[in-house]
A and B are shown apart, each in its own frame.
Chain A
Amino acid sequence: MIEVEQLSKVYPGGVEAVAGIDFQVGPGEVFGLLGPNGAGKSTTIGVLTTTILPTGGTARVGGFDVVRQPLAARRVSSVVFQEPVVDRSLIGRRNLEIHASLWQVEPRAAKTRIAELTDALGIAALVDRPVSGYSGGERRRLELARALVSSPSVLFLDEPTVGLDPRIRQELLEIVGRLAEQAELTILLTTHYLDEAERLADRVAVMHEGRIVALDRPERLRRRLGRELVELKVRNDLGIALNALRERGIAGDDAFAIGSTLTIPLHDLTAHRAIDTINELGLASSISAREPTLDDVYVQLTGARLAAAA
């Protein structure tokens, strides 16, 4: 449904936002594009939604080339943008009707679809009020309903939960989760919230400085770091501590550090044995063991903590 080959975008002034990325998203798949601000996610979505022209490579949406067949590519897709993109002075229903008409949905079909979606997304009671009176969460649900009115094959969700309070964010994730279960809908989700990607995406690509540095199923990405890892606050010199742990066979080449915190993936070792050894060496002021997360994968790949970089 989405095919991206050697896609690149260099903005005037020489800023390389996307540097030759490749990925494919199959029908019905939920694909997460992860990375901090400036990683190239929004530029990639911009190219796929034909609002940014690539400077190299190709991209196809629903089989249509986004440069040569932009109208056809737009016809099969919809977008929920990162920032509010609505006519605030119009009522919610009118926003939905305008989308339906621009996507050439027959008026009778549009009416039925709007009724179904507003019910399903819990906005039926407020859809006849001006959007200017909606809360952030209500507006987000309206934007989601609008994107779905035209029954797109491909749905782009560009950081859809940014700026929402935690409760509304959870509600919205549940809704997107239900959408993801629909076999006929392909979703490309960009986010810098790793839990969203883990929860929703079948596969994720981690972007860093315009490149894809990892692409796999979330659990397989986590498994790169073993079943468990230990995290220790190092008392003295980090390099000396790391060397000592390598000599004792605790740390491998994939150990990584942020500041004075050293993270050691444990592949064949148990956390118990690793902690005993670290204590024996007297290297750490604190130690903990836990399962790896996508954040660890990101730090290990890029040398920066995703949340901090975002």
Chain B
Amino acid sequence: MTAITPLITLSQRRFELTARRPRELFVPLITPILFALVIAPALKVALHTGSAYESFVAVGTIGLLIPLTTMFSGLSVIVDRESAQRELLAAPVPRPFLVLGNLAVALAVTAFQVVALLGFALARGIDFHAGLAGLGWFLPAAVLFAVGMYGAAEALAGRVPRQEEYIARVPAIAIVPWFIAGALFPITALPSFLTWIARFLPLTHGLALMRYGLLGDSSGLHDIWGSGSSTSMALLSLAVVALFALVLTVGSIRVFNRTAVK
């Protein structure tokens, strides 16, 4: 028994509860896979774009998949509140472990889904040319963005009393930013005020980093930062996503403590 044993137990519990509801694993996959495999190829034909566009959109759909999956994971916090949360609060474990245990499983589920999406895309013939260095940008960007989004989900779940109210807020948090963060087209194609707003969205930075990592395409980073070396712009964007993850995680723990302990 170590100090980390309770955290492992909390993650195992969350995983077992998630595994009993397979829809939590597969439902968030449906829309992004439709985008990557059906809508992107259709747009390619309709707009007479090249195969690079399919790759562009395939990475862009990760920017939809991560928010959807993490927001779905946040629902379990509300379910817990109506079931075993009081038992967990009475347990001799630091309360942040209750949030971190959920986060670990949300990350695992998200990773499974991102790998599935990329697998489907590769099978469909969509091209990625990522080396080890590229993965070195892609993975931290995806993980940190998922951590931040889970923080948002946990904080929202802590503040709304019912599942219906939670679900009503999901589109504004998970879907609206996706349309202006450069998922389907470069942010410079937006009206200029929206381009400026997009530059402040963590998702814009996450997507630019993921494309830089998976496709070697730094145009998204240039659209955000202007000129500069690709590496320094990538580092700046990584810092933005890391800050997003840190602030949302700390914030979600604070919200949890405030709402769970009266």
User: A residues within 8 Å of B by Cβ?
Assistant: 11, 46, 49-53, 71-72, 74-75, 77-79, 81, 84-90, 94-95, 98-99, 101-104, 106, 146
**Contact across chains for A87 and B261 when beta carbons are under 8 A apart:** no
**Contact across chains for B87 and A53 when beta carbons are under 8 A apart:** no
Q: Does B197 sit within 8 A of A, measured CB to CB?
A: no
Distance in angstroms from B41 CB to nearest chain A CB is 39
In whole angstroms, how far apart are the Cα atoms of A78 and B262 in the complex?
19
Kindly identify, within residues 35 to 83 of chain B, every residue whose CB is under 8 Å from any CB belonging to chain A.
83
In whole angstroms, how far apart are the Cα atoms of A106 and B1 in the complex?
7
Distance in angstroms from B80 CB to nearest chain A CB is 9
Sampled A-B contacts (12; CB under 8 Å): A52-B262, A77-B90, A81-B86, A81-B87, A85-B84, A85-B85, A85-B87, A86-B84, A86-B87, A98-B12, A98-B13, A106-B1
The 3 nearest A-B residue pairs measured at CB: A75-B92, A102-B91, A101-B9
**Contact across chains for B1 and A87 when beta carbons are under 8 A apart:** no
- Among A88, A94, A101, the residue within 8 A (CB) of B16 is A94
Residues of B within 8 A of A78 (CB): 90
* In the complex with contacts A74-B91, A101-B6, A102-B6, A53-B262 CB distance below 8 A: yes
Residues of A within 8 A of B87 (CB): 79, 81, 85-86, 99, 146
Chain B count of residues within 8 A CB distance of the other chain:
26
**Contact across chains for B90 and A53 when beta carbons are under 8 A apart:** no
Q: Does B20 sit within 8 A of A, measured CB to CB?
A: yes
**Contact across chains for A51 and B84 when beta carbons are under 8 A apart:** no
- Among B1, B12, B17, B261, the residue within 8 A (CB) of A51 is B261
**Contact across chains for B262 and A87 when beta carbons are under 8 A apart:** no
**Contact across chains for B17 and A104 when beta carbons are under 8 A apart:** no
* In the complex with contacts A87-B84, A88-B83, A90-B16, A102-B92 CB distance below 8 A: yes
Residues of A within 8 A of B92 (CB): 71-72, 74-75, 102-104
Residues of A within 8 A of B89 (CB): 49-51
Residues of A within 8 A of B10 (CB): 102
Closest chain B residue, CB of each to CB of A76: B92
Distance in angstroms from B162 CB to nearest chain A CB is 17
Residues of A within 8 A of B9 (CB): 98, 101-102
Q: Does B194 sit within 8 A of A, measured CB to CB?
A: no
